[in-house]
Structure formats: structure tokens, C-alpha cells
Amino acid sequence: MKKIAVFPGSFDPFTNGHTDIVLRSLEVFEEVVVAVLGNSQKQALFSVEERKVMIAEIFKDQPRVKVDSFTGLLVDYCAKVGASNIVRGLRATSDFDYEAQMALMNQKLANNIDTFFLMAREQNSYISSTLVKQVAPLGGDVSMLVSQVVVDKFKVKLGK
Ligand code: ADP
């Protein structure tokens, strides 16, 4: 059976930190489904569809990466796509509490689905979607934080 992992997140927008997590998880899993969370509590800048299009463009040369969106329980979505693992990235210790709580909750909901953590690379550990969304509208250069497709989409969105 194919070993499939789901990498879920808001990805508003997808950053170089996220890209690195996907590429590294491809060394462990045969297929990685990047799943954009549709029912996020967070106010989004980019629509789910816009985010999916950008992510698909980033991985257009990676046939083992699929892009999708989901609403509802993550473990239900994992079961639907046949994934045995959830992939998450950990930056500073500040990510840990929230991630541990979610991983334990998901373990309670479905003990056959395990969370797989990858430590962010040092050079990416300060990158967050929030930071990108703060800097880009003020005219700051975010091209070292996100892919060109995201830079271009920002220009359209901000009319710059
Ligand atoms: P969420 O709203 O689910 O936290 P995010 O898009 O912020 O969605 O993050 C998705 C996942 O990617 C999380 O596991 C997060 O810790 C991880 N992540 C975010 N930024 C980075 C980064 N710079 N390097 C590695 N992992 C990251």
C-alpha cells in the first residue's frame, strides 16, 4: 500500500518554510497531500482556491505532491485519502504546545493516524505566513521568503 501523508495548514500564503517541509517529507512518504484548511478561524488574505493554485504551481514538477482542500475533521480527511500520517513543521519552541495538543487530540480521535514532525531548517525558522502578510503590503521585499508565484500573486492582490 502506498504510504501517504497529509500536510495540512492555512498556507495563507505558502512560504519557503512550507516548501521545505514538503520536499523533506517526500523522502519518507510516497505521496504528500498538501491540504488547505477550508474552515479556518483565521481571517484569510488569499481564498482557498487562490492558495491551491499557487501551491500546485510550486510543485508542478513533483508528481508525488497532490494539492487539495478540506473542511471538517483532519483525521476524517486523512481516512478519506488513505493517509497514515499527518506532517507538521516545528519552528521555535513556541510551535510546540499547540502542535503537541493537536497531535494528542488527533491520536485520541484516530489512533491509526500518526503525526510526523519535521524541525524547520534554521534559515526558515523565522518565516511565517503572518510575517509575509505584514511585510508585503508595506512594500517590503518578500522574495526570499516565498516562491515567485506568491510574489506575483501579492502584486496582483495589492495592486502594486
Ligand atoms: P496552521 O494554521 O495550520 O498553523 P500554517 O500555514 O501556519 O497553518 O502552518 C502549517 C504547518 O507548517 C504548521 O505545522 C507550521 O508549524 C508549519 N510551518 C509554518 N512555517 C514554517 C516554517 N517557516 N518552517 C517549517 N514549518 C513551518
In tens, the pLDDT along 114-131 reads: 999 999 999 999 999 999
pTM: 0.96
User: Which of 7, 12, 15, 18 has most ligand 1 atoms within 8 Å of CB, for mutation?
Assistant: 18
Q: Catalytic site residues?
A: 18, 42, 91, 129
**High-pLDDT (> 90) share of the chain, %:** 91
Average pLDDT over residues 78-91: 97
pLDDT attached to residue 160: 60
Q: Is the CB of 124 under 6 A from ligand 1?
A: yes
Helix, strand, coil distribution of the chain in percent, nearest 5: 45, 20, 40
- Smallest CA separation from ligand 1 atom 27, residue: 89
Which has the closest alpha carbon to 70: 51, 89, 85?
A: 51
Mean pLDDT of the chain: 95
Q: Is the CB of 16 under 6 A from ligand 1?
A: no
